[in-house]
Amino acid sequence: MHIRKRSLRFSCIFLALITFLLYFTFRLLMIQFFRSSHLAALAAKQQSHYIKLEPVRGTIFDRKLRPLAVNVTVYSLFANPRIMTPENIQRALDELPGIVNISKDSLSEQLGKDKYFVWLARKLPKDQMEKIRELKIRGLDFKKESKRYYPNGHLAAQILGFAGMDNKGLEGLELVHDKMLRGEPGWSHILRDARQRDLLIEKSFVPPKDGFSLVLTIDETIQYIVETALDKAFKAQNAKSATVVVMDPQTGEVLAMANRPTYDLGHASDSRPEDRINRAVALVYEPGSVFKIVVASAALEEEAFRETDKIFCENGTYKVGNRILHDHHPHGNLSFTEVIEQSSNIGVTKIAQKLTGPVFYKYAKRFRFGMNTGIDLLGEVNGVLKPTSQWSKTTISAMPMGHEVSVTPLQLACAISTIANGGIYMKPFVVKYIKDDKDVLIKSFEPQVVDRVLSDDTARRVKAILAGAVAEGTGQKAKIEGVAVAGKTGTAQKIVNGEYSHSKFYASFIGFAPVENPRIAVAVMFDEPHPYHYGGTVAAPVFKEIVENALKYLGSEAHRNP
């Protein structure tokens, strides 16, 4: 009996051992053939990891290679919660909120994740990084990154735009040329020890490809001159908004473009959407009397008038359809030249009536009103230029004086540049060329002729008339001592609730200098200035300050660089 009991016990133990052996053999086979890849990948993840190597975003330079947007080195804080003890986590919760801008609740949520890697704070300055390192909290470490930095704050803000936390362009040229600026990331495969510490042994390495740099047509000094003058006048005139565009009329290069209100590129997240709008290309206005340059150009080109022809201006009152036109000052007989110099609404209407609507419309289209200029900036709008089929009985009097038409400040700058350039319309552009970090040219953008709008002789004659408008007419506050200046003032009533307002206006001035050999052309636009609202009073002095200082600068540059 005793032997039988022992035999039964032995059999049971043997059977159990065999069962366990078969179970573990089965498990090993399952692991080997069905889960081996998963477990191998898990082991590889624990023993090594990939580090994304950020490329250096390309610099944005002005035309003289002065940096407008650069990268600076910063440090991003991350954690490995899986190797942090409760004591480590508590120390981090107690210490980090006093150093970096992160709440205790958010930090607790991140450190509570069952992950090898979580971001805690991105792109910290060096002093904050050093304070955190001094804490020596296990599981916390830093990754060196770069952050976009704009050394001039708000200078050319709406042109440049800005890049976000991940160095991706979000607005302006940063967005337009993001692919070229951003470059391509690289990778480094780093081995770890059993405690998840990097061994600084690279298993494989793919270097990043740094982004290309942009060189703009913008001149930092002229941009500064423009923004200084504009900022001062914007505040003094209590305007709702204001815009200035400065161009080289012979090439189409935009030398400066500024808007108010504006924002600081270094704190873009704190700005309002309306502060970031590039009003020079994205918003339209009724231009007022600056549009009379189209009438003057068309009349001379079509040989419908000569400069000395007399036009009776009805002593200040003239009826067209059911509308009564008035001049700011009543005039009797004025020569063609004087009509433009004195900005007579009645005189210009009579010129347009003789030209006829279709001819006037043809020249407005030649100056490319109602269509975009093709500039290499985002958000450009066409404006509105109604075809003659949509004209009312009074459009022939409204449109020549800058009503029933809407334009952008850039379109006005291009139009006056065309007259300055002998009747040739140049395509405006802001990127001169693209290069790599070794100064190898990647792509260049050359001046491009769009069309001949006027003959050289007509352009010369319109120049002389616009020079008279500054010397003797409504633009006298744009005079510069020792420099011949040509230009045209504009004052337009705003449409409010479908009707023309008698208290809200646009004030503008467009012009160029010197008359015989124009170096720069400028368009100035103010929205709702007060208490003064005339273009000759509000916008012309801004033009004068900009052109006077810019020509001095350009003259000194030419002297240094013959």
Sorted by where each begins, the domain ranges of the chain are 50-101+110-216, 220-263+279-560
Q: Any idea which residue has 């423009």 for tokens?
A: 226
Residue type at 58 in one-letter notation? G
Helix H or strand E segment including 93? helix 86-95
Catalytic residue, chosen from 289, 297, 343, 417, is 289
> Regarding the domain delimited by 50-101+110-216, which CATH topology (the fold level of the hierarchy) does it fall under?
Penicillin-binding protein 2a (Domain 2) (3.90.1310)
- The secondary element (H helix, E strand) that includes residue 466 is helix 456-471
| Interval 6-26: pLDDT, tens | 677 777 777 777 887 777 777
Whether cis (ω within 30° of 0) applies to the bond prior to 531 is yes
106 is catalytic: no
Q: Note the pLDDT of residue 190.
A: 59
In this structure, of 13-17, 109-113, 241-245, 541-545, the range with the lowest mean pLDDT score is 13-17
pLDDT in tens, 55-75: 889 999 999 999 999 988 888
Name residue 542's beta-bridge partners.
Answer: none
Q: What are the b/e assignments for 320-340, b being 16+ CB within 10 Å?
A: beeeebebeeebeebbbbbbb
Residue 243, classed as helix, strand or coil, is strand
Question: What count of residues does the chain have?
Answer: 562
Q: Tell me the average pLDDT across 230-256.
A: 97
Give residue 255's pLDDT: 98
What was the pLDDT predicted at 43?
A: 53
Per DSSP, helices labelled H in 421-455 are: none
For the chain, what percentages of helix, strand and coil (3-state, to nearest 5) are there? 40, 25, 30
* Cα 511 from Cα 69, distance rounded (Å): 31
Which stretches within 136-219 are classed as H helix? Answer: 157-160, 172-176, 178-182
> How far, in Å, CA of 211 to CA of 23, rounded?
58
* Residue 44: pLDDT over 70: no
- Mean pLDDT (whole number) for 261-276: 94
Structure tokens at 221: 């000094």
Pairwise CA distance, residues 230 & 181, whole Å: 30
Q: Higher-confidence residue: 334 or 201? A: 334
3-state secondary structure of 56: coil
Question: Each residue of 412-470: pLDDT tens digit?
Answer: 999 999 999 999 999 999 999 999 989 999 999 999 999 999 999 999 999 999 999 99
Model confidence pLDDT, tens digit, residues 376-407 = 999 999 999 999 999 999 999 999 999 999 99
Which pLDDT band holds residue 202 (cuts at 50, 70, 90)? very low
Class of the domain covering 220-263+279-560:
alpha beta
Task: Using alpha carbons, select from 119, 111, 117 the residue that is nearest to residue 90.
Answer: 111
Q: Say which residue, 54 or 356, is predicted with more confidence.
A: 356
**3-state SS, residue 428:** coil
